[in-house]
Amino acid sequence: MDYANQADQASAARGVSLKDYDLDESLGFLLKQVNHSLQRTVDAEMTVLDLTAMQWGPLMQLALGRCETAAELARCACSDTGATTRMLDRLESKGLIRRVRSAQDRRVIKLELTEEGTRASEQVPERLIHVMNQHTRGFTAEEIEQLKSLLRRMIANGASPA
């Protein structure tokens, strides 16, 4: 058995060596380019709803019942509470959300969608699907599932130490 050859193959399977590294072809750079393209296209789609990238996500978190308070939204978005509060102020000024004091604990302020916020949130998924379909044009269903599987593995690998 050729253990040196197996080690070389295992090393190659794990990633790129420094001598072969090309920034423009690096996985991190390509993922960042895809993310930038998605954000730019989603931003353009959301202008019809008068929403920014920072606003449609929290709106959807509220619509899906995943978050009820500003602190929960900040944790979900990996954002600081100050930025979250400013974003919520803008959503409130647009009439999309309202702040309501909790009946169980008067110190807690819960967030609710208004009727207008509910209508806006119902239109977001269709626009997101349009953007994703645009970015995956020409992909087969199997390729999309494979891509999602690979991305989930990368997320899991990043969450646990090597």
42 bridge partner residues = none
pLDDT in tens, the chain (162 residues): 554 444 445 455 567 777 777 777 888 999 999 999 999 999 999 999 999 888 999 999 999 999 999 999 999 988 888 999 999 999 999 999 999 998 888 889 999 999 999 999 999 999 999 999 999 999 999 999 999 999 999 999 998 876
What CATH number has the domain bearing residue 71? 1.10.10.10
Residue type at 144? I
Domain contains 102: yes
Domain that holds residue 91: 25-157
Domain contains 7: no
Report the domain count for the chain: 1
Closest CA to 125 of 66, 60, 44, 54: 60
Map residue 119 onto helix, strand or coil: helix
| 72 Rama class: left (phi>0) / alpha (psi -120 to 50) / beta | alpha
